[in-house]
Chains A and B, each alone.
Chain A
Amino acid sequence: MSATFTHRVLPYDGVDEFLAGAVPFLGEGLAAGDRVQVVCGLGLEVLLRDALGDGAGAIRFSDAARWYAHPSRTLADCLSDAEELDGEGRRLRLFGEPVWARRRPLEVLEWQRVEAILNIAFRGTGAAIMCPYAATLPPGVVAAGRRTHPETVRGARAVPNPGYIDPGAFSARCDREPLPPPPAHADELKIDRPDLYWLRAYVAEYARRTPLPDEDLQRLLVAVTEVVTNAERHGAPPLMLRMWTDAAEDARGDPAFVCEVSDGGRWSAGAGFGLVPPRRSEAGACGRFGLWAVRLLCSLVQIRTGPAGTVVRLRLTLPGPLSDPVPGFRPGPGDGG
């Protein structure tokens, strides 16, 4: 494959600037026989169909709310498509705008992280990705877009983006803020037995008292097992498990079942956070698989590691409603029980 992977931001203010960037990008793909995928809202779709005329028939349009359903899953699926097409000698051409304006802060952060990480993940696939950023978006979103795209579109040209920073560094900045401490009603358990059979039974018993659906429970158990196994292998005592439900009254995220595993160790600088999906070709190899799969299984995974230790916090969105604390479970140590 001769084409090189590109990832460009199209900042636009008004219809003309939007079309001036989008139409040549899409037209070029149609002419080259690329798979052309457009992910946007209905308004932009109408605009593009109108501008491209008959050519629009060969374009796959997808609804943004559905396409951008889950940062890790969308990234993995899209990378899979790109690899598959690359294997066939074709190019994936994606023109997409995550629904920035309607997302909660925690989600926005994860989508921004995806914008950065895909620069690593798609390397060598030949995919062409262009992301329109409306001038009407919150300033923070536009500013982050300039840091996560190596190139900026100016009319029909692409120029290097001086604001672009290393994806790993960007991702680290996403995690600069400490996690809010677990609430006082969180259930806390010290993990000191290496067999995790009993731990899953414990987590399941707690989760059953929350509105967590059964199918999510199994995902949670798989995720917790992986994270604890990781901590047992590479971390340092004490290993702690904490669980609670978060009503998300500050609306930073959705109401969620939260489960965190902490230990006294610090991850080495080279440790992956499971952000980059493994390639098909390396599916048999170890390493990236575990934590990456944990991200697929949970709604959100937050990791903080430093001199004070490491915390991996798993969030699974709950259908609600919540009652705090979780009823009928043993009182936490903080409650004097």
Chain B
Amino acid sequence: METPWFAKRHVSEIRPGDHGWLAYSGFEERDRVIGPFVREGLATNEKVVYVTDAPADRLPGLGAGADAAAFQRSRQLRVISRRDACLDRAGGFEPARMLDTLAGEVGSAFGQGFRAVRITTDYSWLLNDPGVADLPGVLGCEHRVGDAVSPSTMAMAVCQIDRCACPPEQLAALRDTHEVLVEVDPEYEDNVLRIVRTFAPDGLRVEGELDAARHKAFEDRLARVSVGPDGRRRGVRLNLSRLRFIDLRGLHLLVRHAVSLDGDDALILDGLQPEVENVIEMVGWHRLPGLARGRDRVPETEDLA
């Protein structure tokens, strides 16, 4: 199988020319990507085009404090209904119309005084709404959106989809029409350590090197993600596939955290690098109560779906 080529970017790194893809696992994840995408556009004189049937003030990034109506009046924010954007008279999906709509918005943006255009829409309904579902139509549309956005020096797009909206093979096919995989901004980042919230499964991805200089930063993020919606202190999964180094106090920190979880919950360590696992084995998993070895490392592209 040919491995598709992807760039993985945090949402704040999205630039004109990026045709981005967000498969979200829940509204929290969606809002933490689309929220900054919308907000940062509005804050920096960029046009935001959101194709949706939801009211503007309920959209991610436009909640409390944001004056959606004012942005709409200045035409910086364009909230376009599905019917107006891409449906034919019979209510069916019409890819060509979507492309025209987007091209029109991008074409007018420069003259309106905006330096860039951010486009986003949630495709899930086009895959699972009875009577509308049209995977080939969406695939064709995505290819052409990609062709239009990629060479552009003004337009950037993030296509949203609920991970559960379609079967995995369809999800993969849709993903492959994008070049950029978008994820939340890191919880923490410097030139040694990066901590990224993950949503499927719930947890953190820890990249780089973890030692005493960053224990506090890590411990704070770990504590935060470990409180479930019901307030329970739950076990989460740590994706350590890009963690090159963890010191002994770091391991000990994990143990202290793990033994304080509610019930029999464990802290699961996924994707350990062989060097890191070797050190853990030398110390002995049995001396690290509450920690459990999770999945093996997977090839880079497989965890990106």
Residues of chain A having any CB pair with chain B under 8 Å: 73, 76, 80, 194-197, 200, 214-215, 217-219, 221-222, 225-226, 229, 232, 278, 280, 283-284, 286, 289-290, 293-294, 296-297
Contacts and interface: CB of A to CB of B under 8 A. Distances in A.
B252 A222 contact: no
Interface of B: 192, 209, 211-213, 245, 247-249, 252, 255-256, 259-260, 274-276, 278-279, 282-284, 286-290
B288 A229 contact: no
10 contacts: A80-B287, A219-B279, A229-B247, A283-B259, A283-B287, A283-B289, A284-B255, A284-B289, A286-B252, A294-B248
Interface core residue of B260, B274, B282, B288 (most chain A CB under 10 Å): B282
The 9 A-B residue pairs with the shortest CB-CB distance in the complex, in nearest-first order: A218-B275, A284-B259, A225-B247, A197-B192, A195-B213, A226-B248, A229-B212, A293-B248, A290-B248
A331 B248 CA distance: 31
B213 A284 contact: no
Contacts of A297: 279, 282-283
Contacts of A232: 212
B289 A280 contact: yes
A228 to B, nearest CB: 9
Nearest to A80: B286
B212 A196 contact: yes
Given A229-B211, A284-B256, 16 more contacts: A200-B209, A215-B274, A218-B276, A222-B247, A225-B212, A225-B247, A226-B249, A229-B212, A229-B247, A283-B287, A283-B289, A284-B290, A286-B256, A290-B248, A293-B248, A297-B282
B209 A222 contact: no
A200 B245 contact: yes
Given A225-B247, A229-B247, A194 B275 contact: no
Contacts of A294: 248
Contacts of A219: 278-279, 282
Contact of A289 (B245, B252, B290): B252
Interface core residue of B252, B256, B288 (most chain A CB under 10 Å): B252
Contact of A221 (B192, B245, B249, B255): B245
Given A218-B276, A218-B279, A290 B284 contact: no
Contacts of A214: 275
A257 B212 CA distance: 25
B255 A226 contact: no
A290 B249 contact: yes
A79 to B, nearest CB: 10
Nearest to A199: B211
Nearest to B286: A80
Contacts of A195: 192, 213
A293 to B, nearest CB: 5
A283 B288 CA distance: 7
A290 B252 contact: yes
A301 to B, nearest CB: 13
A293 B252 CA distance: 11
B213 A194 contact: yes
B258 to A, nearest CB: 8
Nearest to B283: A293
A312 to B, nearest CB: 14
A109 B141 CA distance: 75
A200 B288 CA distance: 24
A85 B76 CA distance: 72
A218 to B, nearest CB: 4
A278 B252 CA distance: 12
A221 B246 CA distance: 10
A226 B287 contact: no
Contacts of A290: 248-249, 252
A289 B248 contact: yes
Nearest to B212: A229
Nearest to B276: A218
A26 B59 CA distance: 76
A278 B255 contact: no
Contacts of A197: 192, 209, 211, 213
A91 B278 CA distance: 31
A111 to B, nearest CB: 20
Nearest to B274: A215
Nearest to A233: B212
A229 B246 CA distance: 13
Interface core residue of A217, A222, A226 (most chain B CB under 10 Å): A222
B284 A196 contact: no
A275 to B, nearest CB: 16
Contacts of A225: 211-212, 245, 247-248
Nearest to B277: A218
A196 B214 CA distance: 11
A280 B285 CA distance: 11
A303 B136 CA distance: 70
Contacts of B212: 196, 225, 229, 232
A296 B247 CA distance: 14
Contacts of B275: 214-215, 217-218
Contacts of B289: 280, 283-284
Contacts of A229: 211-212, 247, 249
A297 B278 CA distance: 10
Contact of A80 (B245, B249, B284): B284
B264 to A, nearest CB: 15
Given A200-B245, A215-B275, A222-B247, A76 B252 contact: no
A78 to B, nearest CB: 13
A2 to B, nearest CB: 26
Nearest to B290: A284
